């Protein structure tokens, strides 16, 4: 596990055997990639927040594998620096992809759902029960 900000760089954040980078613009904070065997491109956008000195990210698609009850969308979509935010966004997709494949499911383009189609994030109570 990487422990300090100096351990990170964009190349390392993108280094994942399930990620194929189609396009990247480090200056603009735009990354287009493929996840595993899915042919749908995913775009990750990074934005530095001056008010909190953190980097927020958005992901064009959520992942919903047969092993998940609902699409995965991160609760916290930021991190201390651009590299860590990018890595967090990527892991939010690749970790669930790996779990599904390890459980015997074949990758499918249906696993990626454009985030604009999902509507607002569900809300949960203090013990983790969905309330909306």
Spell out the residues 6+ positions from residue 15 whose beta carbon is closer than 8 angstroms to its own: none
- Cα–Cα distance, 25 to 57 (Å, whole number): 14
Check residue 120 and give its pLDDT: 61
Check residue 53 and give its pLDDT: 78
pTM (predicted TM-score):
0.81
Please check the confidence at residue 6 and state whether its pLDDT lies above 60. Answer: no
Average pLDDT, the chain: 85
Band (pLDDT 50/70/90 cuts) for residue 117 is: confident
Chain segment 94-110, per-residue pLDDT in tens: 999 999 999 999 999 99
Check residue 3 and give its pLDDT: 42
Q: Where are the domains of the chain?
A: 7-117
Please check the confidence at residue 28 and state whether its pLDDT lies above 70. Answer: yes
Q: Which residues of 40-69 are buried (b: 16+ CB within 10 A; e: fewer)?
A: eebebbbeeeeeeebbbbebebbbbbeeee
Q: What does the angle CA 25 – CA 32 – CA 55 come to, to the nearest 5 degrees?
A: 60
Band (pLDDT 50/70/90 cuts) for residue 50 is: confident
Residue that wins the pLDDT comparison between 121 and 77: 77
Which contacts of 65-68 are long-range, i.e. CB under 8 A and separated by 24 or more positions? 65/96, 65/97, 65/99, 65/100, 65/105, 65/111, 66/100, 66/103, 66/105, 67/96, 67/99, 67/100, 67/103, 67/105, 68/96, 68/100
Band (pLDDT 50/70/90 cuts) for residue 61 is: very high
């Amino acid at each position: 596990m990487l422990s300090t900000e100096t351990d990170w760089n964009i190349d390392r954040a993108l280094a994942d055997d399930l990620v194929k980078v189609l396009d990247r613009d480090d200056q603009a904070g735009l990354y287009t990639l493929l996840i595993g065997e899915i042919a749908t491109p995913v775009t990750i956008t990074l934005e530095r927040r001056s008010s909190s000195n953190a980097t927020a990210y958005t992901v064009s698609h959520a992942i919903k594998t047969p092993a998940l009850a609902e699409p995965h969308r991160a609760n916290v979509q930021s991190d201390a620096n651009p590299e860590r935010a990018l890595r967090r966004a990527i892991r939010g997709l690749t970790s669930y992809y790996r779990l599904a494949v390890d459980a015997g499911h074949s990758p499918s383009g249906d696993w990626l759902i454009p985030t604009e189609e999902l509507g607002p994030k569900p809300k949960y109570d203090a013990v983790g029960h969905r309330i909306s």
